[in-house]
Amino acid sequence: MTRLMLRAALVGLFCWLAFAPASATDGQIVAYPTDTHSDVAWSAARLWLQSADCARVTKVILVVCSNGQLVPLANANPGDDPGHALALGLYSAATGNAVQSSDILSLNKWINIFGTILLAALLYSMGLQLASLVLITVGIYAANQYVDIAPHPAQYGMAALTTILPLAILGLMPDFNRRRKTVLVWFAIGVLGIAVATLFRQSIGMMGVASSILALVAVAIRGRTRFTAIAILTLAVLASYQSPSLVFRARDAIYHLTASNTMEQHGIWHNIYLGLGVVDNDFGISWDDSVAFKHALQINPKVVWGTTEYYETLRGAYFKLVLEHPLSVAIIYAKKLWLTLQQTLTWISFLPLGYLLLGLATTAAVARFFLRRGFLSDPSDALLIVSAIYICFFIGQAVLFHFLAAYLFPIQLFLILAAAAILEFLLKLSADAWRSHTLRATASSSPIQ
């Protein structure tokens, strides 16, 4: 019955895909790579489109055409992750089609759909058919609730991709000897998922690395996995996080370009420093890029925006404030945590995040208690643990950076996964109760010997 329901859900999903295109089409198809795409509000998105226009004409990716020269994308757009520009550029170079702003919407949408479906397939492979069904229906619906010509909507799908490896480690590793090929395939997909996610959003890639390392530590403590396998997976995870650097260096080597002298990824210290200015503070900081640059110039008048030196300057400034004013910084973070827990989600707007978390945690604890099984004795345990880790990651990001809906959006995926794990617990409790009832009925109906 469950398999039939899953197949029906998949048919419904693909019907939905066929009749639900991206919801905006602005911008005109351009003929030359000099179009500024001024109709697009997000500055980074304008440069993605310019880079794709340049790739269509020159067949060179991750560059912009400027005055007859190929300029590395990071020189024009420092501190941005390359994923969107890379995908749009490859498409435009391969097909010869000009991209427009609606293509960014479509790219974000397909990233979310693909990541969600792939994660649902892993859950099905782990024997969590009910959780897979919940994700393929409710998860797809949630993924489509945020549409914008910006990088943030795709974080949902990227978070799903980075969840695959830690889930496979915790949920499939015990079956390695019995399902060797299946487990290895999911490990490979998981490592690739972290690499792809890091290209599109560095912070999401970091979450994938951290959660995978934690999962490897957990299986190492349980002592059921060889050290060699753990070491190989650890190296693979760390290598996957270098995907942006590998792509840029490959571009430089293939097209004989000089490497950019600016930050080629999003970085974290700019946002962490500005994060102190989200609420009232005594440091003169506000959530404004120009404020961070102004403060960096006061420390180092020769600093250049977007360079590694710029990020290092803000890192030093941040830790100086933390060491000199620890109580003030702690109060700022306490306020931001409180405000984060008061936020509502796009499609559950009637209940603050804090109450949702409390309800899920209480229900999970009660259901798991009555199962009376050992730690990580079931794949649904792995699902709940990984979901809890990612929920903590996104709350931590909101506290360190900002609790904007754009940054918190992917947390919905893990609330859904946590709820799905609880449903799996309840299903197992029902099955256990039915077995006990059947055994008692059989015993009472047996003739006395």
| pLDDT per position as a tens digit, 233-268 | 999 999 999 999 999 999 999 999 888 888 888 889
Shortest CA distance to 208 belongs to which of 246, 174, 169?
A: 169
DSSP code of 32?
S
What long-range pairs does 215-221 form, CB within 8 A, spacing at least 24? 215/165, 215/166, 215/167, 215/169, 215/170, 215/386, 216/169, 218/169, 218/170, 218/376, 219/169, 219/170, 219/173
* pLDDT of residue 416 exceeding 60: yes
Say what the pLDDT of residue 429 is: 76
Write the pLDDT tens digit of every residue in 58-73.
999 999 998 888 999 9
Chain center to CA of 312:
25
Mean pLDDT of 167-190: 90
**Token pair listed for 278:** 């989200």
Helix or strand holding residue 336 (H, E): helix 326-341
Contact 183, 233 (CB under 8 A): no
Locate the domains of the chain by residue range.
Answer: 24-99, 268-341
Of 248-252, 354-358, 430-434, where does mean pLDDT reach its minimum? 430-434
Q: pLDDT at residue 18 above 60?
A: no
Q: Between the CA of residue 172 and those of 120, 165, 168, 237, what are the distances in Å?
A: 14, 10, 5, 17
Output the pLDDT for position 22: 38
354 HSE (CA, 13 A, CB side): 9
> With 70 as the cut, is the pLDDT of residue 438 above it?
no
| Residue 94, pLDDT score | 94
Instruction: Name the 3-class secondary structure at 38.
Output: coil
Task: Decide: 167 and 42 in contact? Cβ < 8 Å.
Answer: no
User: Taking the CA atoms of the chain, what radius of gyration do you get in angstroms?
Assistant: 24
Of residues 359 and 4, the one with the higher pLDDT is: 359
At residue 427, does pLDDT exceed 90? no
Pairwise CA distance, residues 138 & 345, whole Å: 14
Q: Taking a C-beta distance cutoff of 8 angstroms, is the pair 345, 353 a contact?
A: yes
Q: How far apart (Å, rounded) are the C-alpha atoms in residues 395 and 357? A: 11
Q: CA-CA distance, 10 to 203, in Å (whole number)?
A: 31
Q: Which two tokens stand for residue 142?
A: 């949630």
Average pLDDT taken over every residue of the chain: 87
Whole-angstrom Cα distance, residue 381 to residue 131?
12
* Selected residue with higher pLDDT from 9 and 274: 274
pLDDT band (50, 70, 90) for residue 446: low
Q: What percent of the chain has pLDDT over 90?
A: 67
Token digits of residue 102: 């609606």
Residue 30 has pLDDT above 70, yes or no: no
Has residue 337 got a pLDDT over 50? yes
